[in-house]
Amino acid sequence: MTAHANELAVAVRGLRKRYGDITAVDGIDLGIRQGEVFGLLGPNGAGKSTTVEILQGNRSRDAGEVSVLGTDPVNATRAWRSRVGIVWQDESAPPELTVGETVRHFARYYPAPRDPEEVIGLVGLEQKTGSRIKALSGGQRRRLDVALGVIGGPDLLLLDEPTTGFDPAARRQFWELIRRLADEGTTILLTTHYLEEAEALADRLAVIARGLVVAEGEPAELRDRFGTEAVVGWTESDGSPRTERTGTPTRTVAELMRRFDGEIPGLRVVRPTLENVYLRLTGQEDTR
Ligand SMILES: Nc1ncnc2c1ncn2[C@@H]1O[C@H](COP(=O)(O)OP(=O)(O)OP(=O)(O)O)[C@@H](O)[C@H]1O
């Protein structure tokens, strides 16, 4: 790949993957800078997991160039694997082991692991160090999975839908954990269905739909770029509600002011949220 690509933690160009007749990934380009939290956002079946599995070196691809920490995952070595943290859902650890035993056990797989007690503290499980895995709640179990993903001291952490099934409080606690890891300088790629999650965590995000990146940028930038239209609503003299989608809401309101000669009945101006933008980009917009 080019010299520029070497500065990126993850560089993907023209990635394609088919499963029989299904095109899961249809030519994806991605560039993830070192130290950033990058969100891969998209609806079910968009191709997020397939992409992450290819980056992990756990799935073959049909076409495209992929560089993860300067290496093609197809040529993954043990040394490379120790630099890429993967958070598995329900890492297979014996349920009879305690949290402390499990983290210390996994640390032995790595050449330069982090301190197990420090990692347990990082994920907020210090009160549970002596608890058996089978006694953990779902959210605590997920924190343990993250602890096992970072115990090797990775430069890059890959998280595939880390908070699916969490209640809102657990999700917020998990976000804090991700921010703490990001503050330490770990590059993080996370996939999510939740726009709120991508907005809360990601420095930049790519929206993917039908195996393609349909938009990429900072959350605020995407809102500005795709969300310039506003909906102006008002009530006509006969009481019927009206709405108009417009790129120049001020002009629309000025015209209405002239028409109503002052106060406009039921006036509202609604700017699209990032959620509206996302739904439009992924083709799920309610067009009523
Ligand atoms: N092992 C597989 N064999 C056949 N088809 C697959 C396989 N894995 C994924 N697919 C299909 O590829 C497409 C993309 O799936 P993928 O899991 O990558 O999407 P996703 O964005 O992660 O979706 P979700 O959010 O539902 O996990 C889907 O149509 C899916 O059904």
Report the atom number in ligand 1 closest to the C-alpha of 25: 14
For CA atoms 221, 225, 227, 232, the dihedral sign is positive
Kindly report, residue by residue over 229-273, the tens digit of the pLDDT.
788 999 999 999 999 988 889 999 999 999 999 899 999 998 777
Which of 48, 51, 54, 190 has most ligand 1 atoms within 8 Å of its beta carbon, as the pocket-test mutant? Answer: 48
pLDDT for residue 91: 62
Report the atom number in ligand 1 closest to the C-alpha of 193: 25
Q: How confident is the model at residue 90 (pLDDT cuts 50, 70, 90)?
A: low
How many C-alpha atoms does 104 have within 13 Å on its Cβ side?
8
SS3 state of residue 160 = strand
pLDDT for residue 285: 62
Atom 3 of ligand 1, residue of closest alpha carbon: 19
Kindly report, residue by residue over 91-144, the tens digit of the pLDDT.
677 889 999 999 999 999 998 999 999 999 988 899 999 999 999 988 888 889
Angle at 94 between CA 110 and CA 187, to 5 degrees: 40
Q: Give 27 Cα–ligand 1 centroid separation in angstroms.
A: 15
Report the atom number in ligand 1 closest to the C-alpha of 49: 22
Of 227 and 20, more confident: 20
As for ligand 1, residues whose beta carbon falls within 6 Å of it are: 19, 22, 24, 42, 44-50, 193
Of 23-32, 170-179, 193-202, 244-253, the range with the highest mean pLDDT is 23-32
Q: Residue 110, Cα to own-chain centre: how many angstroms?
A: 27
pLDDT for residue 69: 96
34-56+76-219: in CATH 3.40.50.300: yes
Q: What angle do helix axes 274-281 and 219-226 make, rounded to 10 degrees?
A: 70
Q: Cα separation of 99 and 28, whole Å?
A: 38
Q: How confident is the model at residue 288 (pLDDT cuts 50, 70, 90)?
A: very low
Q: Cα separation of 232 and 241, whole Å?
A: 11
CB-based burial, 16-52: b 16+ in 10 Å, e otherwise: bbeeeeebbbbebebbbeeebbbbbbbbeebbbebbb
